[in-house]
Amino acid sequence: MVGGPRVSVATPRVIETTVGTSPVTVVIGRGVLGEVAARWDAVSPGTSALVVHDANVTRVAGDVAALLDHRGTRAVRVDVPPGEPSKCFAQLERITRAAAEAGVRRSDAVVAVGGGVVGDLAGFVAAAYQRGVALVQVPTSLLAMVDSSIGGKTAIDLPEGKNYVGAIWQPRLVVMDLDVLDTLPDRELSCGFAEVVKYGLLESTDLFERVAAWPALPGDPVALADLVADCVAHKLRVVTQDERESGLRASLNLGHTVGHGIEAAGEYSRYNHGEAISLGLLAALRISERMCGLDPAWRTRTADVLRAHGLPTSLGDGIATEDVLRAMGRDKKADAHALNMVLLHAPGKVVLRQDPPHDMVVAAIEELRA
Ligand SMILES: NC(=O)c1ccc[n+]([C@@H]2O[C@H](COP(=O)([O-])OP(=O)(O)OC[C@H]3O[C@@H](n4cnc5c(N)ncnc54)[C@H](O)[C@@H]3O)[C@@H](O)[C@H]2O)c1
Ligand SMILES: [Zn+2]
């Protein structure tokens, strides 16, 4: 490890680190979109930028393109229909061919403007186009800021499974302008907050207390910049030590084992990701109480903060426990692969455990119905 991320304390917050051999700079604050252009020399020596954006953030993408054009970098814009189905081969082909037609070259860069969908898709475009071009992430959802724009995982989906085709490709620069959250729907803001709660539990009682005391979202912008920066710094500390998830990086999946099961059992429509993670966190804490002696007060407090921000804390009717278990690969037939769970002794004290007893997992899901 090369000393871990360097984190500034002033706003805008700037975090600099190296992941593998790639230098990564993250800028977090209000009205910081101009940093894309101001820091461009460190991103790419090329003459063009391929700006891939979600159709719901056309204005932000227009601002980024204008800033790049102004500094003399030709911005080629490609929009992407909103929603998970855009993480597909058809969009990958469409975008890479648009890049080729526009003459985008190996020395140029891709700028992803959008939530995690566009970040994952455009990130994979950057990894694959001409065997890899520089990538800039401009996340526009809270989830993309605290999670998907950091760490270099990029992918598209197959009908057989989410994120089945992808690459690890680190962004050189990530610019998080909190002003763009003004247009993000409340439900999406809450979903991102579920991941923030996850970081609070993973990092420390201090961070958990700040998260637990958070007022209505989005809250004070300076405080939000600090909160986002602390989540990002946590993820970067983990990813710099374990880029390819051979161990530690798996800790970022707190709440995701059961959460993914719930998301899949609801056919990806009943709950969106953050909502399923809200429930998954509570299940993981329940199992942590039984296996690691976690004080039950943490679960009560976690449920309070999730509920306060509009996230579900009890599992709705119509989601069968067997369906959740099946989606987790835990139904009676499928015991072929080990179930890995991230558990806690206390906030900040994380353990990875294999194969928690089946009955305990079932009970934790059932107890979500209370
Ligand atoms: N690469 C990773 O490490 C990683 C981590 C977590 C999640 N993901 C991926 O991220 C995706 C989910 O990301 P998401 O929650 O950001 O979803 P998303 O990209 O679908 O964005 C959510 C919705 O908000 C809209 N939106 C985004 N920003 C907006 C803004 N500023 N104003 C108005 N509308 C806006 C989008 O159009 C979309 O309708 C999933 O595909 C998931 O697999 C990747
Ligand atoms: Zn998640």
Would 317 be classed as within a structural domain?
Answer: yes
Atom of ligand 1 nearest to the CA of 144: 16
Q: What is the pLDDT of residue 10?
A: 75
Do 54 and 167 belong together in one domain?
A: yes
Q: Quick check: is 35 in a domain?
A: yes
Domain termination residue (choose one: 184, 218, 240): 184
Residue 286 CA: distances (Å) to CA of 99, 245, 248, 343, 360: 49, 25, 22, 9, 9
- Structure confidence at residue 338 (pLDDT): 74
The answer to whether residue 248 sits within a structural domain is no
Domain that holds residue 170: 6-184
The answer to the question of residue 286 being in a domain is yes
Quick check: helix, strand or coil at residue 213?
coil
Amino acid identity at 44: S
Same domain, 350 and 261: yes
Residues 32 and 144 in one domain: yes
- Ligand 1 centroid–CA 59 distance in Å is 17
**In total, how many domains does the chain have?**
2
Point out the least confidently predicted range of 25-29, 41-45, 86-90, 337-341. Answer: 337-341
Q: Does 334 score more than 50 pLDDT?
A: no
Pick the closest to residue 46 from 155, 129, 152, 153 (CA basis): 129
| Closest residue by Cα to residue 15 from 1, 28, 2 | 28
pLDDT in tens, 21-50: 999 999 999 999 999 999 999 999 999 999
> Residue 331's pLDDT is what?
62
Q: Would you say residue 329 has pLDDT above 70? A: yes
Cβ-based neighbours of 58, under 8 Å, separated by 6 or more: 79
Instruction: Answer yes or no: do 14 and 148 share one domain.
Output: yes
Nearest CA to ligand 1 atom 41: 117
* Secondary structure in 3-state letters for 131-146: HCCEEEEEECCHHHHH
Render pLDDT for 107-161 as a digit per residue (tens, 0 to 9).
Answer: 999 999 999 999 999 999 999 999 999 999 999 999 999 999 999 999 999 998 8
Spatial distance between the Cα atoms of 105 and 103, rounded to a whole number of angstroms: 6
Answer whether residue 105 is part of any domain: yes
Domain match, 173 and 303 both: no
Of 140, 191, 252, the residue with max ligand 1 atoms within 8 A of its CB, to mutate for a pocket test, comes to 140
Examine residue 210 and state whether it is found in any structural domain, yes or no.
Answer: no
The residue ranking higher by pLDDT, 304 or 247, is 304
CATH no. for residue 270? 1.20.1090.10
Domain harbouring 39, CATH code: 3.40.50.1970
278-310 pLDDT, tens digit each = 999 999 999 999 999 999 999 999 999 999 999
pLDDT of residue 332: 53
Contact call for residues 236 and 15 (beta carbons, < 8 A): yes
Check whether residue 177 and residue 60 sit in a common domain: yes
CA pair distance 140, 179, nearest whole angstrom: 9
Average pLDDT (248-263) is 96
Residue at a domain's end among 134, 169, 184:
184
Which residues, at least 6 apart from 213, have a Cβ–Cβ distance to it below 8 Å?
none
Exposure string (b/e) for 191-224, b if CB count within 10 Å is 16 or more? bbbbbbbbbbbbbbeebbebbbebeebbeeeeeb
Q: Confidence class of residue 1 from pLDDT cuts 50, 70 and 90?
A: very low
pLDDT at position 337: 64
Tell me: do 20 and 153 sit in the same domain: yes
Average pLDDT score over the chain: 95
The percent of residues in the chain predicted with pLDDT above 90, rounded, is: 91
